[in-house]
Structure 1
């Protein structure tokens, strides 16, 4: 039988530096997306942090040229860690927690960064708005051998919601895509950069 971690392990972070490899991995990801796809990359200061202990250091926005394609914002934190904002409202913290009780490893978090970026470029992020009077924002990742989903009742992103209620929107940075007449309303892929 597996024992629960001691209560004092929750909220305690002994070695946050183990996540430092995330930062160069994110830089490599940004360079790779800029090289492979027709996207613009904008770097700037991150918005003020709501945390008393973790600063938001830099915001990198990767925006496909076409507006019907999924953007990706990567926020570098002082933890060290990353926030990924994909599509219209999917928000991922890497590491998810970082406390001693959760015991996340750098290898696992690096794998998650790769999984999320591969899924986004392959069109495996779906977003949907449901709810008649109060919008419910749903997102679903259907990666290679893994699935994750989430629901929220608010929209903290600064851009307006643009999905048709009760319809699904598959947003990607990869090849392929279908038009708005498709029942799932899959969104077109960004244009790959042509070889010289």
Structure 2
């Protein structure tokens, strides 16, 4: 299998009112100014994340045995509707039903939502405000790491019944480390919870690796 390589991207350049290039990701030495919270000056800086998502979809389709469904309807896989208009949605379902599926949702923001497995959504960016100071490169890094971890069988989900909303967790193992998290997840229907619980009980060690296509086996 040929390793994934990020496509060449022309990084957009933005300037402040003084004409200086804005170095997103390195703007603040310490706490950001109060007036940068809830201000999103250049959301278009995240447009290259769409290019990276397209490349990941193409790579997964070429190297893994998956069925592809495309259409706005598959954005319904998300636990909660996207905050911005959906411009494209693609579901990649491995032809081994024991594996986790991925749904990639492109929004007009521009940004990407990723639904991985059964009960976890990931956003790129989580927040694009000036205070958070994220850049497209960091968001693309996270997207690539998490998508490739799912395909490699290095992703797991946990689900706990708790009083009130259930607790939904996740864990990724990457070549350079691991990441995990979780939170109470409101709004999950009883049917979706019960279905996910039954499936996750069969995968206590995490989701297995996606099967390769015949040409890359």
Q: Under TM normalisation by the shorter chain, which class is it?
A: 0.7 to 0.9
Deviation at 1:191, TM superposition (A): 1.9
Aligned pair 1:136/2:163, yes or no?
A: no
1: CA distance, partners of 2:196 / 2:122: 21
Q: How many aligned residue pairs are there?
A: 180
CA RMSD of aligned residues (A): 2.8
Q: Secondary structure at the match of 1:12?
A: coil
Per the alignment, residue 132 of structure 2 pairs with: 102
Q: Which structure dedicates a bigger proportion of its chain to strand?
A: 1
State TM-score, norm by structure 2: 0.72
Per the alignment, residue 175 of structure 1 pairs with: none
Deviation at 1:185, TM superposition (A): 4.3
Unaligned runs of 5+ in 2: 1-28
Write out aligned runs for 1:1-196 (5 A).
Answer: 2-45=29-72, 46=75, 51=83, 54-131=84-161, 135-144=166-175, 145-154=177-186, 156=188, 159=192, 161-164=195-198, 167=201, 169=203, 184-195=204-215
Unaligned runs of 5+ in 1: 170-183
1: CA distance, partners of 2:161 / 2:188: 17
State which drifts further: 57-66 or 146-155: 146-155
Q: Which structure dedicates a bigger proportion of its chain to helix?
A: 2
Q: Secondary structure at the match of 1:195?
A: helix
Q: Secondary structure at the match of 2:197?
A: coil
Deviation at 1:186, TM superposition (A): 4.0
